Structure 1
Amino acid sequence: MTDAQRVRHESDGGSMRKLMLVGTATTRPEAIGSLFRSEGDGEWQQVSDIPSDASVQAITPHPTRENVIFLATRKGLYRSTDGGDSWHKLNAAEEGVPFWSVVVSPHDPDVLIAGTSPVGFYRSDDGGDTWRKCKADPSERYAISFGGSRAMRVAFHPTNPKLLYAVAEINGLFVSEDGGESWRGESRGLSVLAAMPHLKNTELTDDDTEGMFDAHAVSTTSSRPDSIFYICRMGIFESDDGGKTFRDLEVGKYAPFSYSRECRFVFGEPRKMYACFSISSRSTAGALYGSDDLGETWYRADSQIQARSTMMGFGTHVSDPNGVITVTRGGQVFCTTDGSKTWTEKQLPANAGDAFCGAIL
């Protein structure tokens, strides 16, 4: 925890508004793919500033500006500067470019990187007011039915602002060594893993290396700055050499399923991480697991709840390690404000689309 973060955390007592935001996607006819919000014990309300067919894929609260929040949607990028009360679309790209991720640099609060489908990246140096397109290799590794692969998550190296990582669904790992201005694919370590018999897997193509390249998230931590935690259909893998080699964290030793959608570290506790596991992209179960030792061992963090569909994502509070929100494809939302000791459940409205992301403020 930096001095600035500590002052902010202590000044507000680590308090939370208990405002929950959940993003949904238009994954079935008539479903609402927008942003839903609930504060305190209130009911879910659809946010009127976000179109009903936007399909919200990522919610990113600014780590140091408490009232600023960003959304990545298939209809563009949005920003709130009043804690989620109102939203405005940003002039990030031409119409029709779908965004799947957005991240704030831990090194400069004005720098943001956003990822698109097909794989592409945009950078802002002024807090989201203006954007420019970065250079990236958009080539597709697999012929997939749903179109171009998606830049699902971006992560900065904790100490080197020039070094960034990104992952793409059905396209593996990408690396930037110039602050996000240009990107290249890094397939060496993943290809070695994909050749191992127990890591061969296919769902969308006839290529059994597909599973290892079906990436959903990437994380870094100041506790081990050179490590990349790569989250994909086959589990969680760690690299300490920029993706040239990986080791399997073998989450299947601790969880009954290892299909992974998200992994995040906890504010102020750089060795503590959460990850959500399920059976597959569409399934009847899911759970949140925690690790206090950088993924060496895992434990069930939400044993008192029961997810009835795939856990698609979760969010950790940006300034309070006790706040976590998880969402399932079927619209279950689970929240804890005491570090996963107790959980509350609040089901989204029936007309909401599949839930993909959540944030707690």
Structure 2
Amino acid sequence: MKSPFFTAPALAAFLFFFTAFAPVSLQTGNPDEPGKSDPFSSGTFSGLKFRSIGPALTSGRVADIAVRPDMPSTYYVAAASGGVWKTTNAGTTWKPVFDKQSSYSIGCVTIDPNNPHVVWVGSGENNSQRSVSYGDGVYKSEDGGATWKNMGLARSEHIGKILVDPRNSNVVYVAAQGPLWGPGGDRGLYKTTDGGATWKAVLSVSENTGVTDIVMDPRNPDVLYAASYQRRRHVWTLINGGPESAIYKTTDGGETWKKLTSGLPSVDMGRIGLA
């Protein structure tokens, strides 16, 4: 007597079921070239692991990058809505180093040219859209980003640039754009001569105009150029520029300034970048 489980129809059905629902890992051959292994099998990529290449929030805005001149594989990235990130292996892996601070929005990051372990951060991205986040001043780290201290200018809200005098680390300039949605605040160009303990406004334009960028003459650190930017955000519109947007120059470390006009547009200007 033959077993009903080994009839031809039953055997055919069993083989169909087994091959149709067999795990993909069993199908390791190359269908185009029988006898050769599949180069795209799971074993080929078993050594690869997912890793964070940061720092971006939904492909978010990166505001600034600072690279250690003595160690180019170490650099800091300031994210507009994601804090400060640090890499020590040229971007292979990243570590967030600013998460414990009260501001997650960053406008700029600067490494002290005299001491690469000293890092300055200006909180509050320097953009004008409605979704912009604001900061609470200037931060300083003396241990490569392990710890931070707020150094003041809390009412600046948006900082565009920080420069350190290459002759003296205690001399630092901060380009503060100031509040976006209202007048006043810590707005303009600020200078410290004691490492951030105290600040002096060395260039002030008006309650609606701050300083958005600053550059230093590499041949003479007492010569600086600053760009002022007139702006004001309202619910219904953005005042993006005006007669107070301009370029200023100092030859005495910020004690006196001259507004530059020669060769520049005579009409109202908007945001100006310097290099």
TM-score (norm 1): 0.48
**SS at 1:152's partner residue?**
strand
Whose radius of gyration is greater, 1 or 2?
A: 2
Contact 1:272–1:292, Cα closer than 8 Å, also in 2: yes
Per-residue deviation at 1:258?
A: 4.9
**What is the distance in 1 between the residues matched to 2:223 and 2:88?**
30
Aligned to 1:273: 224
Residue type of the alignment partner of 1:244: A
**SS at 2:195's partner residue?**
coil
Mapping 1:93-132, distance limit 5 Å: 93=55, 96=58, 97-118=60-81, 120-132=83-95
Residue type of the alignment partner of 1:163: V
Mapping 1:80-159, distance limit 5 Å: 91-93=53-55, 96=58, 97-118=60-81, 120-140=83-103, 150-159=105-114
**What is the distance in 2 between the residues matched to 1:311 and 1:217?**
14
Residue type of the alignment partner of 2:173: F
Per-residue deviation at 1:129?
A: 4.2
Of structures 1 and 2, the one with the larger relative CO (CA 8 A, separation 6+) is 1
**SS at 2:148's partner residue?**
strand
Distance 1:289 1:217, change over 3 A: same
Per-residue deviation at 1:246?
A: 0.8
Aligned to 1:52: none
- For each residue in 1:66-89, what CA deviation from the matched residue of structure 2 results, as whole angstroms up to 9, or x when unmatched? xxxxxxxxxxxxxxxxxxxxxxxx
Distance 1:267 1:280, change over 3 A: same
Aligned to 1:303: 262
Residue type of the alignment partner of 1:220: V
Aligned to 1:167: 122
Contact 1:113–1:122, Cα closer than 8 Å, also in 2: yes
**What is the distance in 1 between the residues matched to 2:115 and 2:269?**
38
Match of 1:292 among 238, 251, 255: 251
Match of 2:143 among 178, 183, 190: 178
Greater share of residues in strand = 1
Contact 2:170–2:196, Cα closer than 8 Å, also in 1: no
Residue type of the alignment partner of 1:284: G
Per-residue deviation at 1:304?
A: 1.9
**SS at 1:110's partner residue?**
coil
Per-residue deviation at 1:95?
A: 5.2
- For each residue in 1:138-188, what CA deviation from the matched residue of structure 2 results, as whole angstroms up to 9, or x when unmatched? 425xxxxxxxx631111122212111111112321111111123434333x
**What is the distance in 1 between the residues matched to 2:68 and 2:56?**
24
Aligned to 1:264: 215
Distance 1:238 1:273, change over 3 A: same
**SS at 2:241's partner residue?**
coil
Aligned to 1:61: none
After TM superposition, the runs of 4+ consecutive aligned structure 1 residues lying more than 6 A away are none
Contact 1:110–1:126, Cα closer than 8 Å, also in 2: yes
**SS at 2:122's partner residue?**
strand
**What is the distance in 2 between the residues matched to 1:274 and 1:110?**
30
Per-residue deviation at 1:298?
A: 1.7
Unmatched segments (≥5 aa) in structure 2: 1-51, 125-133, 179-186, 233-239
Contact 2:172–2:196, Cα closer than 8 Å, also in 1: yes
**What is the distance in 2 between the residues matched to 1:156 and 1:235?**
22
TM-score (norm 2): 0.61
Per-residue deviation at 1:226?
A: 1.3
Match of 1:231 among 145, 166, 175: 175
Distance 1:120 1:183, change over 3 A: farther
Unmatched segments (≥5 aa) in structure 1: 1-89, 141-148, 192-209, 317-361
State, as a whole percentage, how many aligned pairs show the same letter: 19
Distance 1:260 1:246, change over 3 A: same
- For each residue in 1:236-265, what CA deviation from the matched residue of structure 2 results, as whole angstroms up to 9, or x when unmatched? 11123332211121444xx9x852101121
Contact 1:136–1:183, Cα closer than 8 Å, also in 2: no
Aligned to 1:283: 241
Instruction: Single out whichever of 224-233 and 276-285 deviates more from structure 2.
Output: 276-285
